[in-house]
Amino acid sequence: MKVIKILSVILVVFAFISTANAQRRGPSEEESEKFRAKKISFLTEQLELTPKEAEKFWPIYNQAEKENWEAQTKRREIENRVQKENGNLTDKEIIALTKEMVETHKAEALVREKYNKKYLDVLPPKKILKLYQAEHQFLRQMLREFRNRRSDNDK
């Protein structure tokens, strides 16, 4: 249960960063690649992956990231619709949107559940737990960097 809470926080932070970037101008391909490279480096170091573990782990992790991104994209689309309507929705429309939002959260949870099982097939359980902690640490670090850059730009 604690892992699910941690993952939820990670997803919220990641969604915040993604939304903030998209509102600014959207991340360039170069920025996305830098982010991915930093993340891979950070996670590899934190997990202390052996070459054999890394060979099996990264394809699974990359696919999980792709599926999770797709689920998050659907949620962000709903959030954008709500923002565009700016309070001009009927109760019926709001109810439909809340149901769609819940479905996107379910989809994200199913992706996490599916890939947790796959991770356990290639890594020891302690490393899986370390993975979730490291993802959280990484996103907190990126959020701090984002805030610092934003603060520096505002000066």
Q: At what angle do helices 29-47 and 125-154 cross, to 10 degrees?
A: 140
Note the pLDDT of residue 25.
55
pLDDT over 80 (residue 54): yes
- Nearest C-alpha neighbor of 34 from the set 24, 16, 21: 21
pLDDT over 50 (residue 35): yes
Q: Which two tokens stand for residue 21?
A: 């970037």
Q: Are 138 and 42 in contact (CB under 8 A)?
A: yes
User: What residues contact 31, with CB distance under 8 A and at least 6 apart?
Assistant: 21
pLDDT over 90 (residue 100): yes
19-23, 42-46, 53-57, 58-62: least confidently modelled range: 19-23
Residue 48's pLDDT band (boundaries 50, 70, 90)?
Answer: very high
Average pLDDT, the chain: 84
Per-residue pLDDT tens over the stretch 109-121: 999 999 999 999 9
pLDDT over 90 (residue 99): yes
Burial of 61 (0-12, 13-18, 19+ CB in 10 A): buried
The predicted model gives 88-105 an average pLDDT of 91
Q: Which of 11-15, 17-21, 92-96, 148-152 has the highest average model confidence (pLDDT)?
A: 92-96
Q: Is the pTM of this model over 0.75?
A: no
Residue 21's pLDDT band (boundaries 50, 70, 90)?
Answer: very low
The residues spanned by each domain of the chain are 2-154
**Helix residue spans in the chain (DSSP H):** 2-24, 29-47, 51-85, 91-122, 125-154
Residue 1's pLDDT band (boundaries 50, 70, 90)?
Answer: low
Angle subtended at Cα 135 by Cα 142 and Cα 99, rounded to the nearest 5 degrees: 95
pLDDT over 70 (residue 108): yes
